[in-house]
Each structure stands twice: as structure tokens, then as C-alpha cells.
Amino acid sequence: MNFFGVLLGWGILSVSTAFSQSMNVKPLIPKLRSYNIVYNEQKADQLLFATGFDQFKRIEGNKTLVQFELDKFVDSRGLSSNQLIKNYESLVKKFGGGLVYQYDNHATFKVNKFQKSFYVTLETYGDGKGYSLAVVEAAMEPGDLFADNLLKELNQKGSFSLYFNFKSGTAQLPPDAETNITTIAEVLLKNPDLKISIEGHTDNVGSAEMNKRLSEQRANSVMHALIKKGVGAERLKAIGWGDEKPLASNTEESGRQKNRRVELIKI
């Protein structure tokens, strides 16, 4: 479904029809047909963003706050608080975002787009008689930036190279790989149609047979780590190429480092 279709599903009258590279936040601030804008403000500000029960992050950036009230002459009932939240969640998912936390009439959402993060707070009142949306556009956090780049590279180039600090001759994932593994799993879980081939590569130090076996073991280590994070095994496969597909010359250490990699290939 294109974005215009999403807008029609929400019953929106006037709003930009797509995210733009200029970070237009209007698509995240839908105006329903039965609701009127009663307050609109844009400025550099903070947003207290709920991430869990009694858990908050203070987000700073460009903030847009819009409040809406039901036009009783158009619709005496409007949508319930729960309907507003669920419908907005559906809208956010169309942009690859999702619900972060919901409690009663309050919900928070997050969308990563164009290497920016959009933090959204939705609050309803009067059981749907009105609602407010606060959106802060902020710099993307390192983990989000990695996820954004990963998905972009897979969609545009079909591959993404990872460099894990494996100990020489071993296939056990190092502790510092956990963050990237978690992010890769989250990307796959948010994109259920995405399938990847995990392909291990080495430099040419050692025998070709040993390198091929080691590269396959490393690819399998990554695959099993993703499966433990909830990614379906049917969406993954592991291959070891050893030193058969170098990216650089193995005569220099800098080249050998570049060749020791794990590639994610979109299939």
C-alpha cells in the first residue's frame, strides 16, 4: 500500500503525502475528518518519552505538538481512545516504526527514517473526544543508525559486510558482537519477508581447507545466534567461502583484515 492509501485508511484530510529528505513530520501527525486542530506549535524542545512503566527518556530536538478535538457537529461519538491508539500504530508500522509503550490513554512510538529518529507521544482524552500528538525529530542513536544502514544496504546493494573480532582460528562470537547481533535480529523480525544468506570469509593464512571450514563455522555461529533471538531458521542459511572471494590483496595486513568478514546477502 502506498502512503496515500494509508492516509485514506486513517481518514486524513490535509497532510503531506510522504516523508521527504527534509524530514517533514506531517505524515506522523494525521488529522481525522471528524477532528479539528485546536493547538499547533513547533520549536526546539524536549520530550519526556515513556519507554516502560515509570521509565522515561528525555529526547531533545525539533518538536511539533498538535492537539485535536472532536467536531461534535460532524460526529458526536468519534473514535474510542483504544481505536485512536491502534489506528495510529497501524500508520506508524507503514513507515517501519512501531509501538514502544502503551498505558491507558497514553502511547509512545518510534520511527527511524533518513538517518533520523522520530519519537512520538500520543495522548487521548475524553475517551476519544480529543487527542494530542507530540513528535520530536532527533539524531539517530548508534544502534538505530546501524539498523538503518543495514536495511538500506541490503535493499539497495543486496549485501552488508560485518567485521566481528573473532579470535584467530576460532568461530565463537566475541562478547562485543552481541549488540550487532541483537540489532540484526530486530531488523529481521521487523521485516518478516527478508531472508538472508550468512556467508563467512577469511584471509589466505593457513590451508584453503581449514579456512573454508572456519568460515563456515563462523557463519553458523552468526546464524544460530540470530535463531536464539527469535529469527526463524527457514529465513537463514550459512555458507563458508574461506579465502575464495577476497575483497583486497592478502599481501598486506590491511587487506587481510578487510577479507576476514561475514557478509549478509539478501535472498
- For residue range 182-232, list pLDDT tens digits in order: 999 989 998 999 999 999 999 999 999 999 999 999 999 999 999 999 999
Q: Determine the 3-state secondary structure of 23 from DSSP.
A: coil
The answer to whether residues 125 and 170 belong to one domain is no
pTM of the model: 0.59
What are the residues facing 150 on neighbouring strands?
Answer: none
Q: Are 148 and 139 in contact (CB under 8 A)?
A: no
Of 112, 140, 168, which residue is a domain's last? 140
The answer to whether residues 96 and 19 belong to one domain is yes
The answer to whether residues 217 and 206 belong to one domain is yes
As a whole number of angstroms, the distance between CA 222 and CA 239 comes to 11
Q: Indicate the range of 35-39, 139-143, 150-154, 222-226 predicted with least confidence.
A: 139-143
As a whole number of angstroms, the distance between CA 66 and CA 40 comes to 4
Where are the strands (E) in 88-151, listed by range?
Answer: 98-103, 106-113, 116-125, 130-139
Give the chain's domain count: 2
Does 20 score more than 60 pLDDT? no
- Average pLDDT value over all residues in the chain: 87
Does 18 score more than 60 pLDDT? no
Of 108, 125, 140, which residue is a domain's last? 140
What are the residues facing 64 on neighbouring strands?
Answer: 42, 135
